[in-house]
């Protein structure tokens, strides 16, 4: 049947070359090649911008900036109180614990963004075809989330401190409380980021990741609150003091604000003596567990 | 109601990792109830507090978010909803079926464990168990309808849902009494108060307002979700 068809007009004699490669001016890259560290840093900055919705659609910016705005409100109110009534509003070390719902929602809504799309669209091999290793990838994502949370927690504290200096409250400025609360903010940021990114990385679906992270927060704080109430109702104050440590926010408060800096606790009481060491151990243990889970998760994801 | 769509929705809701979250929440409630019983703090007052703060206040909205958005949002997210919407099935029927699936899952995972936890602690005393089970049932149905609608309307359904549940119902409701009138949890507790004669449960909304609000929210959300699906446009996001 094919013989009956006329030969296509473009068919050349067999002796002509079958194909030609034209030089259309592509050039090799011969500039400097930056190291693995630069690639990791670039990934960190990219993820950090993405957490706040920079470089994404306008709709992606609404939620992080709205939460950031709510987080700033108590600082603004406190400055107004200091200026007009000469009274202190919220204590530095209790700021994060009192506002804990906001960083928790921020963590839940933004940490799936850092990990879920890469898992869902299976682009991990593209990252790993660069000098970036799994450890670099995981640490870049963790660093980005930690930095974002630290900004969310530390900027209101700093604004509050600057406000206190400008208003010029009677008595010495609470510089040491401010610095201790910054250390606490760093502790909160590291622990929450590790937990949130680790939980979110187990599902490639963003919606389920958000639900899982917020379920973890609500469950831990709900169980902690319920247990504290129960133990206090039967008069077991020592057990109630331990029950506070189930909530991640109070663990960091007990470990850093109370344990290291000796400030007033945000909860009623924490277990004394051995309890401080336990709070620090719980905090470090949770961070180590989350990072290990993340690395194992990504080893598996990268091998698929 | 369409049996095939219902079957597919049940499978996607209960057949994956989502089901572990759905199971975890009631298990924690029952574990807390057992613990209360073991340490001997199982008075009626402690039971009502546990059910109010944990069962209705924490578990119910979370189950509502997971099940309500879970029946439709993942399909919209990965685009397979196109196959569903291109079938000759009326869109309001799709919305109603999805709502029934979500509502039945929330009811099973919330109302039954709530009844079991209360029964474990105080038995059938002064209607606490049946009151809170009914509250979990109607609250769960309302949450399922609202969060399914959110899943159809926006890509950020889960985040907006938890912002409503945590900030509006949790924080604002505690400081601004007027906000409590517009909270599914408070309506559900009013229903519980109506059934139970416990003196430890007090609510400040009339039962007439609560019931009509629940009905309006459920019917309105399902109807609007159906309308919204009729003119649905699948847009890329991020």
User: How far is residue A209's CA from residue B41's CA, in Å, rounded to a whole number?
Assistant: 35
**Per-residue pLDDT tens over the stretch A275-297:** 888 899 999 999 999 999 999 99
Q: What is the pLDDT of residue B238?
A: 45
CA distance A245 to A286: 12
| Contact in structure between B25 and B82 (CB atoms under 8 Å) | no
For residue B50, which residues of chain A lie inside 8 Å, CB to CB?
226, 230
pLDDT score, position B21: 86
Is 60 exceeded by the pLDDT of residue A4? no
Chain B partners within 8 Å of A231 (Cβ): 39
Residue A171 token pair: 């008595």
Q: Which of A57, A105, A206 sits opposite B163 (nearest CB)?
A: A105
Mean pLDDT of chain A: 87
Mean pLDDT of A15-24: 78
Are the beta carbons of B225 and B99 closer than 8 angstroms?
A: yes
For residue A260, the model assigns a pLDDT of 87
Stretch B181-202: mean pLDDT: 85
Instruction: Copy the structure tokens of residue B20.
Output: 């572990």
Q: What percentage of chain B exceeds 70 in pLDDT?
A: 97
How many CB pairs below 8 Å do chains A and B form together? 109
Best of A101, A214, A247 to substitute, by most chain B Cβ atoms within 10 angstroms, is A214
- From chain A, pick out residues whose CB is under 8 angstroms from the CB of B63: none
pLDDT over 90, % of chain A: 45
Nearest residue on chain A to B61, judged by CA atoms?
A215
Q: Bigger pLDDT: B225 or B17?
A: B225
Spell out which residues of chain B touch residue A227, defining contact as CB-CB under 8 Å. Answer: 32, 35
Q: What is the ipTM for the molecules in this complex?
A: 0.88
Q: Which long-range contacts (CB under 8 A, 24 or more apart) does B178-182 make?
A: B180/B204, B180/B205, B181/B205, B181/B209
- For chain B, percent of residues with pLDDT exceeding 90: 34
Average pLDDT value for residue range A266-272 = 79
pTM for the complete prediction?
A: 0.88
Contact B77 A207 (CB under 8 A): yes
pLDDT at B235: 65
**DSSP annotation of A246:** G
First and final CA of chain B: distance in angstroms? 33
Among the partner residues B28, B66, B171, nearest to A101 by beta-carbon distance: B171
The residue ranges of every structural domain in chain A are 36-302
Phi, psi for A91 (deg, rounded to 5): -70, 145
State mean pLDDT over A38-44: 93
Asked if pLDDT for residue A168 goes beyond 70, the answer is yes
B21 min Cα distance to partner chain A (Å): 7
Residues 8-37 (B) with a CB less than 8 A from some CB of A: 17-18, 21, 24-25, 28, 32, 35-36
Tell me, what's the pLDDT at A1? 40
Where residue B236 falls among pLDDT bands split at 50, 70, 90? low
What pLDDT does A28 receive? 85
Query: What's the Rg (C-alpha) of chain B?
Result: 18
pLDDT over threshold 50, residue A3? no
Residue range A128-136: mean pLDDT, rounded = 89
Which residues of chain B neighbour A205 with C-beta distances below 8 Å? 74, 77
Answer whether residue B223 shows pLDDT above 90: yes
CA proximity to B80, closest of A117, A57, A205, A210: A205
**For residue A140, pLDDT beyond 90:** yes
Q: Are B6 and B100 in contact (CB under 8 A)?
A: yes
Partners of B158 on chain A (C-beta within 8 Å) are: 109, 206-208, 210-211, 214
């Amino acid at each position: 049947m094919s013989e009956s068809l006329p030969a296509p007009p473009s068919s050349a004699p067999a002796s002509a070359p079958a194909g030609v490669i034209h030089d259309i001016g592509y050039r090799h890259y011969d500039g400097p090649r930056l190291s693995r560290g630069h690639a990791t840093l670039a990934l960190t900055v990219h993820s950090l911008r993405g957490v706040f919705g920079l470089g994404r659609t306008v709709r992606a910016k609404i939620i992080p900036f709205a939460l950031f705005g709510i987080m700033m409100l108590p600082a603004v109110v406190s400055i107004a109180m200091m200026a007009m009534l000469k009274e202190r509003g919220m204590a530095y070390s209790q700021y994060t614990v009192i506002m804990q719902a906001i960083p928790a929602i921020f963590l839940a809504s933004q940490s799936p963004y850092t990990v879920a799309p890469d898992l869902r669209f299976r682009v991990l091999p593209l990252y790993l075809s660069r000098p970036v290793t799994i450890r670099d990838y995981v640490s870049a994502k963790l660093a980005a989330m930690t930095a974002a949370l630290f900004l969310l927690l530390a900027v209101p504290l700093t604004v509050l401190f600057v406000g206190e200096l400008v208003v010029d409250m009677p008595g010495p400025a609470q510089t040491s409380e401010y610095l201790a609360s910054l250390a606490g903010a760093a502790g909160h940021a590291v622990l929450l980021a590790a937990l949130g990114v680790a939980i979110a990385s187990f599902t490639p679906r963003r919606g389920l990741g958000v639900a899982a992270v917020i379920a973890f927060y609500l469950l831990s704080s709900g169980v902690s609150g319920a247990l504290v109430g129960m133990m206090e109702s039967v008069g077991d104050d020592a057990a109630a003091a331990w029950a506070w440590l189930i909530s991640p926010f109070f663990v960091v408060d007990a470990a850093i604000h109370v344990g290291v800096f000796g400030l007033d606790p945000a909860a009623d009481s924490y277990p004394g003596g051995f309890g401080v060491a336990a709070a620090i151990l719980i905090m470090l243990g949770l961070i180590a567990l989350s990072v290990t889970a993340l690395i194992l998760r990504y080893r598996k994801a990268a091998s698929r | 109601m369409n049996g095939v769509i219902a079957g597919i929705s049940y499978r996607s809701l209960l057949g994956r990792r989502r089901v572990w979250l759905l199971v975890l929440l009631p298990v924690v409630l029952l574990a807390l109830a057992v613990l209360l019983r073991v340490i001997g703090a199982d008075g009626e007052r402690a039971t009502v507090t546990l059910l109010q703060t944990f069962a209705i206040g924490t578990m119910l909205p979370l189950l509502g978010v997971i099940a309500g958005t879970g029946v439709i949002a993942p399909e919209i997210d990965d685009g397979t909803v196109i196959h569903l919407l291109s079938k000759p099935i009326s869109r309001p029927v799709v919305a109603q079926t999805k709502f029934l699936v979500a509502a039945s899952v929330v009811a099973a995972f919330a109302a039954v464990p709530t009844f079991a936890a209360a029964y474990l602690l105080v038995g059938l005393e002064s209607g606490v168990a049946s009151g809170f089970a009914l509250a979990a049932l109607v609250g769960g149905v309302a949450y399922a309808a609202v969060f399914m609608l959110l899943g159809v309307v926006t890509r950020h359904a889960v985040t907006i849902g938890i912002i409503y549940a945590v900030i509006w119902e949790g924080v604002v409701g505690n400081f601004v009494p007027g906000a409590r009138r517009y909270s599914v949890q408070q309506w559900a507790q009013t229903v519980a108060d109506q059934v139970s004669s416990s003196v430890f449960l007090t609510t400040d909304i009339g039962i007439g307002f609560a019931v009509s609000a629940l009905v309006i929210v459920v019917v309105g959300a399902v109807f609007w979700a159906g309308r919204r699906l009729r003119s649905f446009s699948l847009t890329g996001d991020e």
